[in-house]
Structure 1
Amino acid sequence: MSLDVHPQLLRALRAVLETGSLTAASERLGFTQSALSKQMAALETAAGTRLFHRGPRGVDPTPAGTRLALRAAAILDQYDAAQRELEDLPMPLGGRVALGGFPATALRLAPRTIARVRTDHPSVEVDFLESSTPVQIRRLRAGRLDLAILASGAGLPGWDLTGIEVEPLPSGSLLLAVGARHRLAGTERVPVAELTEEAWIAGRGARGEPQFGAWPTLPQPRVVAELGDWSARFGFVAAGIGITTVPRLAAFALPDGVVRVEVDDPGWTGRSMGLARIGDLTGPAAAVRSALIAEARLIAGL
């Protein structure tokens, strides 16, 4: 016969045999005597034999009851030890985090961050919202985002960040994206003066939303197309219609037929990324922050 019982029945058996009384055992365990009697009946049924004799002065164990009680002590000690070990383990993080980022972050930084979080913290879910920096700031203030990846620096407005805490994120330099057959395709680095006659593919968004496009320090760049998403811009570049600027965090997503080139420009002070939040981070949001910083460092080559 297979003895498959709940640990509570074994605890009840030990209490009965240690106290020698159903009444005393029920008081120790916090059960009524009737409930304890039912537990003992269930244990005897599972064991297929009588475990103790009831008498006027209490109960006496049968040989089967004595043996089972000894085994029960060892089983319960192991059970309690396992429970203590589980309680000592750190609780897994769980929850949902809303992360915002401008479009270029969606090419590599955001998806790699989300993948890292899923590996390290499977119970944490990340919702990514792609939007421009000013839209992210509004969403952060409205409580729709927990974390927001913002862009700042030369050529961008001075955002109102009152009440928002921003920490720097590694971002790397601004690069050129040119077609594989472009005259600059085989050049590792080019002086900015060589870009004055180039045709440019620029980003297009809502009014006031910053976009990547012509090199920022060129006085009068010739823009031949304005396109709303990166895949379209890269398609025009691959076809040789023009060139465009691309941040290092998006350079790993260049398609076939498009290569990157670095630019020497003493007049360009650069742009940077920042991770913004309002108030303290929850455990899940802190895990996303750590993953985001790690991936940003990898992309920037740090």
Structure 2
Amino acid sequence: MASMPTPHGSQSLYEVFLAVARAGSFTAAARALGYTQSAVSRQIQALEDETGAALFERLPRGVRLSEAGRVLLPHAEAVRDRLAAARAELAALRTLDGGLLRLGAFASAGAALVPRAQAVFRERHPGVTVTRVEGPSVKHLGLVAAGEEDLAVVSPAAGAPAPDGVTLHHLLDEPMLVALERGHPSAGRRDVRLGELAGEEWIVGNERLEDTLFRPAVAAGFRPRTGLVAHDWIAKLGAVAAGLGVTLVPALAAASVRPDVALVTIHPDDVPYRRICAATPPVATVAATSFLRLLRETARSLEEQGVR
């Protein structure tokens, strides 16, 4: 005859104690729990050893709580309730009925890629709380590595390895467009060569061009004439609209460009691309894995639409 299972991590000592207190005997408690009587007896003995007190009075027929057992009873009930709550929360993490997703992204990823994926994620998993922080890619890579973010959308330098503690998942290669004043001679063209705009005043986000959207173009040998440094997109596009210069705009942010600025495609031989990736810890959470799947679907959709 097969032996009955013995208590394990799914039932705490306190839950076994409560079962015995409720049933009034080790045998009845064992039957209710699906354990052997000797296993329940050992669990109670272990708890009595831990508390240093006899918790039950052994009677000819069954047991009843001792004074120490009556003192322990409400505390055991509190432990049981906290364990039940913990198990429910852990189950919610597995089923995405609850939990937290800490998300990071660089600025222009928040124009189309991230919000579209986040909208679908919220519809499918309304119980999961999503927090989102915007900032440069290097910041988010550090936060993922430190375990302070679960997933981040980043643009790592071409050829750069992932930092320790980070796994990179390629999403898409994003082309750049050029933003011009509406009255600019090239504003109505189908595409433009970067060399044709070499004499223009370029508006950039950093004096070091290798740290800007120009990084791929600079690597290819194009060195623009820069006159205005503007870190904020509103300031950049405002300067373009006022005729103070031209600037590069990521394709992901194209739909959010103001109407008094013209966007022109860069010739295929010149167009700079930047690599867009999702960064996660080596072992991603269930929520991060689900969000990554949606990011990939959204990235494919955006590429099919010309990333516009």
For Structure 1 versus Structure 2, the TM-score category normalised by the shorter chain is 0.5 to 0.7
Give the counterpart of 2:167 among 162, 165, 168: 165
8 Å contact from structure 2 (residues 103, 152) kept in 1: yes
Q: Distance in 2 between matches of 1:160 and 1:294?
A: 23
**Counterpart for residue 231 of structure 1:** 234
Question: Given residue 272 of structure 1, which amino acid in structure 2 is its aligned partner?
Answer: R
Higher alpha-carbon Rg: 1
How far 1:106 moved relative to its partner?
1.8
How far 1:168 moved relative to its partner?
0.7
Question: Given residue 286 of structure 2, which amino acid in structure 1 is its aligned partner?
Answer: G
Structure 2 residue 141 is the aligned partner of structure 1 residue 130: no
Question: Given residue 210 of structure 1, which amino acid in structure 2 is its aligned partner?
Answer: D
**Counterpart for residue 280 of structure 2:** 277
Q: Deviations over 1:87-113 (max 9, x none)?
A: xxx955322111111111122222222
Q: Distance in 1 between matches of 2:209 and 2:178?
A: 23
How far 1:200 moved relative to its partner?
0.8
Q: Deviations over 1:120-160 (max 9, x none)?
A: 21112221111112111111111111111121355xx8355
Q: Deviations over 1:185-224 (max 9, x none)?
A: 101111222111111111149x899323595446442212
SS in structure 1 of the partner of residue 256 of structure 2: coil
Q: Distance in 1 between matches of 2:174 and 2:273?
A: 9
Q: Deviations over 1:232-276 (max 9, x none)?
A: 111111222111111111111111112221112636663211111
Question: Given residue 135 of structure 2, which amino acid in structure 1 is its aligned partner?
Answer: S
Residue identity (%): 30
**Counterpart for residue 211 of structure 2:** 210
Alignment of 1:43-82 (within 5 A): none
Give the counterpart of 1:96 among 97, 100, 105: 100
Alignment of 1:120-159 (within 5 A): 120-154=124-158, 158=160
Q: Is the alpha carbon distance of 1:117 and 1:160 closer, same or farther for their aligned partners in structure 2, counting shifts above 3 Å?
A: closer
SS in structure 2 of the partner of residue 174 of structure 1: strand
8 Å contact from structure 2 (residues 97, 127) kept in 1: yes
8 Å contact from structure 2 (residues 98, 128) kept in 1: yes
In structure 2, stretches of 5+ residues that fail to align are: 1-27, 33-93
**Counterpart for residue 180 of structure 1:** 182
Q: Distance in 2 between matches of 1:283 and 1:181?
A: 50
Q: TM-score, normalised by structure 1?
A: 0.62
Q: Is the alpha carbon distance of 1:194 and 1:209 closer, same or farther for their aligned partners in structure 2, counting shifts above 3 Å?
A: closer
Structure 1 consecutive aligned stretches of length 4 or more whose deviation exceeds 4 Å = none
Q: Distance in 1 between matches of 2:96 and 2:116?
A: 21
Structure 2 residue 118 is the aligned partner of structure 1 residue 114: yes
8 Å contact from structure 2 (residues 173, 273) kept in 1: no
Q: TM-score, normalised by structure 2?
A: 0.61
Q: Distance in 2 between matches of 1:103 and 1:142?
A: 21
Question: Given residue 185 of structure 2, which amino acid in structure 1 is its aligned partner?
Answer: R
How many aligned residue pairs are there? 213
8 Å contact from structure 1 (residues 93, 284) kept in 2: no
8 Å contact from structure 1 (residues 112, 295) kept in 2: yes
Q: Distance in 1 between matches of 2:95 and 2:157?
A: 40
Q: Distance in 2 between matches of 1:149 and 1:288?
A: 11
Q: Distance in 2 between matches of 1:256 and 1:210?
A: 28
8 Å contact from structure 2 (residues 155, 274) kept in 1: yes
Between 1:264-273 and 1:100-109, the stretch displaced more is 264-273
How far 1:279 moved relative to its partner?
2.6
Q: Is the alpha carbon distance of 1:279 and 1:219 closer, same or farther for their aligned partners in structure 2, counting shifts above 3 Å?
A: closer
